[in-house]
Amino acid sequence: MTSVFFGCVAGFVAWFLVRYLAAGLFTVNQNERAVKTSFGRAERVGNATTLEDPIAASLGAEERERYVYPQVRVIPPGGPYFKWPWERVHKVSVATQTINMAADQEDPTANYNGTILEAVTKDQLNTGLKGQIRWRASERNLYAYLFGVKHPITHVMGYFISVLRERIANFEAPPAPPVADEAAPHLGLATAAIGISINDLRKNLRDINDHMARECAQSDARYGVVLDASLITGIDPPAEVESALAAINTAYNQVSSDISLAQAGADQKIVQSKRAVEIETLRAEAETQPLVALAEQLRDLKKSGAGALEAYIRNVRLKLFNEAKSVILEMNHD
């Protein structure tokens, strides 16, 4: 009986060591972070909250009251680590993930099976949006990601889509650069297509993406999810609108081309006119230069004395007589 008792005790001790001590060892991978809870309560860093972290800098006064989370002790990659039986380890991947922005986490069949997100433009056109979102769990706010929100990515996607639809509905293209008054009548038709909202959206995709990045900078403080980037790749209007829009754009491009050709022709003529004026000016200067030089010489001769000018004229006449083959003189019969 004694041996049986000791055997049972030894078996219990061995089972306890394997079940609660050896099984309490764990490791954390390089792309993971972990948070340990004791009886359901996460290990915290004193009384520190996320409001003391720079991620809360973009929150407004009202948001700072709503989104206050304790800072928890994050277990870095490595190990082995140990946990007691009453403790639980929550591992989170912090690797960047990509998701279609039309994907619905609760209903996969929504938004045309997660391929196209619909939005209404300012001129009441229902358009389809295509794009992707890169996101990752925020290591600095794992409490919100693990315990603050039941489905963090679902909340972030809903927040992102609401901001995007509001931006699409109120988007206005930056004002066009001013043009000269004389060119304004010719640009009336060419600028008519600029006011079409879908054209504005397509031409300013980068501005829209930048706006979304700024507006979603609070996602890590709100939900513990960092939106690394949002990339809207396509804006497609309905089929019946696409053909009309293509015709408008074709006419706009043709008018713009004609205006550019006319402007280029006018610029060329102006350059040619300036060149002709320069040539004629040089010719006039070339013709007047000898006369100016001669006048200077005669002025200097006159300063030399009264007979110097007459001697110069006599020498010029003799040179001309020497070079002439025949001379006609007027005779005075008196």
- Give dist(CA 241, CA 265) in Å, integer: 36
3-state SS of the chain: helix, strand, coil percent to 5? 55, 20, 25
Q: Which amino acid is at 107?
A: D
pLDDT in tens, 198-212: 777 777 888 888 888
| Residue whose pair of structure tokens reads 């973009």 in the numeric block | 58
- Give dist(CA 159, CA 178) in Å, integer: 38
Does any domain span residue 44?
yes
Does any domain span residue 116?
yes
pLDDT of residue 251: 66
> Per-residue pLDDT for 190 more than 50?
no
Does any domain span residue 155?
yes
pLDDT in tens, 286-305: 778 877 777 777 777 667 66
Instruction: Please state which of the ranges 57-66, 156-165, 188-197, 218-227 shows the lowest mean pLDDT.
Output: 188-197
Average pLDDT of the residues in 95-116: 85
- Bond prior to 80 in cis (omega within 30° of 0): yes
> Per-residue pLDDT for 165 more than 60?
yes
| Residue whose pair of structure tokens reads 């315990």 in the numeric block | 147
> Per-residue pLDDT for 187 more than 50?
no
Does any domain span residue 317?
no
Q: Which residues, including other chains, have CB under 8 Å from residue 140's CB and lie 6 or more apart?
A: 50, 53, 55, 220
> Per-residue pLDDT for 106 more than 70?
yes
Show the domain range for 213.
2-237
| Residue whose pair of structure tokens reads 């006609």 in the numeric block | 328
Residue 216's closest CA among 154, 164, 168?
164
CATH number for 22: 3.30.479.30
Does any domain span residue 245?
no
> Per-residue pLDDT for 192 more than 50?
no
Q: How many CB atoms lie within 10 A of CB 264?
A: 10
pLDDT of residue 194: 45
How crowded is the C-beta side of 74, counted as CA atoms within 13 Å? 19
Q: Which amino acid is at 67?
A: Y
- Give dist(CA 70, CA 72) in Å, integer: 6
> Per-residue pLDDT for 184 more than 60?
no
> Per-residue pLDDT for 43 more than 60?
yes
pLDDT of residue 183: 47
Looking at the DSSP assignment, which residues form a beta bridge with residue 49? 70
| Residue whose pair of structure tokens reads 């997660």 in the numeric block | 114
Q: How far is CA 69 from CA 26, 62, 64, 92, 125, in A?
A: 26, 15, 10, 17, 41
Confidence of residue 25 (pLDDT cuts 50, 70, 90): confident
Instruction: Give strand ranges (E) for the chain.
Output: 25-28, 32-38, 41-42, 44-49, 70-72, 74-75, 78-82, 87-93, 97-100, 117-120, 126-137, 225-236
Q: Which amino acid is at 166?
A: E
Q: How many domains would you assign to the chain?
A: 1
pLDDT of residue 90: 92
- Give dist(CA 22, CA 84) in Å, integer: 10
Does any domain span residue 249?
no
Does any domain span residue 25?
yes
Does any domain span residue 142?
yes
Instruction: Please state which of the ranges 95-104, 172-181, 183-192, 321-330 shows the lowest mean pLDDT.
Output: 183-192
Looking at the DSSP assignment, which residues form a beta bridge with residue 127? 119
Percentage above 90 pLDDT, the chain: 7
Percentage above 70 pLDDT, the chain: 76
pLDDT in tens, 239-291: 655 665 666 666 677 777 778 877 887 888 888 888 888 888 888 877 788 77
Q: How far is CA 68 from CA 44, 52, 57, 147, 157, in A?
A: 14, 10, 12, 12, 21
